[in-house]
Amino acid sequence: MLFDSNIIIYATQPGHAELHRFIVANDPAVSIISYIEVLGYHRLSNTDRQLLKTLFALMDVLPINKEIAEKPSR
């Protein structure tokens, strides 16, 4: 399942543990654009950056192509 940047960010926030579990349980993937957007955010703390990198390690990070661009995300 292809996940949007905002969903990834929300999943790391306190109170959204269920969303984190949902992502991990659903064969998660993100586009390389979401990966760059999320990790490139200038206000990420080092702790948040590490948490996000751990989450991304569980996902397929997909290159941009027409199929990915047209695939609906959650």
Tell me: pLDDT of 3 over 80. Answer: yes
Q: Which residues face 62 on adjacent strands?
A: 31
pLDDT level of residue 60 (50, 70, 90 thresholds): very high
With 0-12 CB in 10 A as exposed, 13-18 as middle and 19+ as buried, what is 3?
Answer: buried
pLDDT in tens, 11-57: 888 899 899 889 889 999 999 999 999 999 888 889 989 989 988 99
Q: Can you give the pLDDT at residue 66?
A: 85
> Which residue ranges make up each domain of the chain?
5-70
With 0-12 CB in 10 A as exposed, 13-18 as middle and 19+ as buried, what is 62?
Answer: middle
Number of other CB atoms surrounding residue 21 within 10 Å: 11
CA–CA dist 1, 42 (Å, integer)? 27
Q: Can you give the pLDDT at residue 35?
A: 95
Q: Can you give the pLDDT at residue 74?
A: 64
CA–CA dist 3, 27 (Å, integer)? 10
Q: Can you give the pLDDT at residue 68?
A: 72
